[in-house]
Amino acid sequence: MKEININGHHETIVERSDYPIEKCKNILKNDVTAILGYGPQGRGQGLNMRDQGFNVILGLRRGKSWENALADGWVEGENLFELEEATQRGKIIQFLVSDAAQIQLWPMVKANLNDGDAIYFSHGFGVVFHEDTQIVPPENVDVILVAPKGSGLTVRNHFLDGRGINASFAIHQDYTGNAKDRCIATAFAFGSGHLFETTFEKEVHSDLTGERCVLMGLLQGAFLAQYEVLREHGHSPSEAYNETIEEALQSLYPLVAENGMDWMYANCSTTAQRGALDWAPKFKDSLKPVIEECYQSVLSGEEARISIETNSKPDYREQLEKELAAVNNQEMWQAGKQLRPLRPENL
């Protein structure tokens, strides 16, 4: 384990070497892991655990997800079952369906939890906002969380590349006295890189804020704002797209990921450095109040209520497709469709 201290804040980072795969298999040797759901996280975590030789099964409804699982080599009656049967067979229940589906399925899952089982989440939403979701685990089970800091597709692709993705973990309820080991062993079973500890509350508050701000919402808004300004001042679509998105994602952001923002600045022209250093505080001062407003909306439960209400509407999927189509049809992303194939690696 690695001890880090940042401005007086002490943390312990759990590394792969602390929990080698054989140790994880020993911890989980008496536990069948039943993954409910085959969305990005269910698929990524499930395939990685299966590939590493863990005793993992899937619980799905028959339909598209079921067919996708069969195509990935899961075998009906062997490691692929319908939802309730998988829940009954599992000792660690990985509840990886959508937040809305968790609300619908919780009565069935709760009814099939046995003494000493573990209910596992990759997002604290259902448990933290229990007044709206009604998800309150019984007292005789472990309640644990591992939240990869990336999409399920990234979880899978990093694993296939021999890398791991960082994740947070949390113990909400330790009934067996073995909850922490079960939690950490499962995290490395699906290929996590390193782990840092959090709580269900902090995970969901940071996650919802991040999704709405720098990870997704703010990113789309900032891209579109700059693209529109450039276009309104006579720049061509290809110029506006390249200066806004292509250079960011292909050239500069990878440098930030590699060694930090100062490293990216150091590897740019002095003119770019000067402009970035001068304008960064202005953007911070403008954006911090908006992010604070977003955080308070998350903290109050308002964002959860909006999500639950919207996702529960019968025409949710139809309306979502319309919203996503509107983004897809923006000139900025239409330009991207034509320009991305021109990257050297695609020629």
Question: Domain 2-198: what homologous superfamily?
Answer: NAD(P)-binding Rossmann-like Domain (3.40.50.720)
In order of 141, 175, 347, the CA distances from 115 in angstroms are 6, 9, 58
The yes/no answer on whether domain 210-346 falls in CATH 1.10.1040.10 is yes
Q: Could you confirm whether 123 is annotated as catalytic?
A: yes
In order of 267, 334, 336, the CA distances from 241 in angstroms are 22, 10, 7
Cα–Cα dist 274/328, whole Å = 34
Token pair belonging to 126? 């259902």
Tell me the sheet residues that pair with 197: 169
List the catalytic residue out of 9, 123, 130, 194.
123
The C-alpha angle with vertex 46 and arms to 216 and 135, in degrees rounded to 5, equals: 65
Cα–Cα dist 59/246, whole Å = 40
pLDDT for residue 347: 63
pLDDT for residue 344: 81
pLDDT for residue 345: 77
Cα–Cα dist 330/332, whole Å = 5
Each of the 347 residues of the chain gets a pLDDT tens digit; together they read 888 888 888 888 999 999 999 999 999 999 999 999 999 999 999 999 999 999 999 999 999 999 999 999 999 999 999 999 999 999 999 999 988 899 999 999 999 999 999 999 999 999 999 999 999 999 999 999 999 998 899 999 999 999 889 999 999 999 999 999 999 999 999 999 999 999 999 999 999 999 999 999 999 999 999 999 999 999 999 999 999 999 999 999 999 999 999 999 999 999 999 999 999 999 999 999 999 999 999 999 999 999 999 988 899 989 999 999 999 999 999 999 999 998 887 76
Domain boundaries, the chain: 2-198, 210-346
What is the H or E stretch that residue 109 is in? helix 99-111
pTM of the model: 0.89
Are residues 223 and 245 in contact, defined by beta-carbon separation less than 8 angstroms?
A: yes
H-only helix segments in 300-328: 302-311, 316-328
148: helix, strand or coil = strand
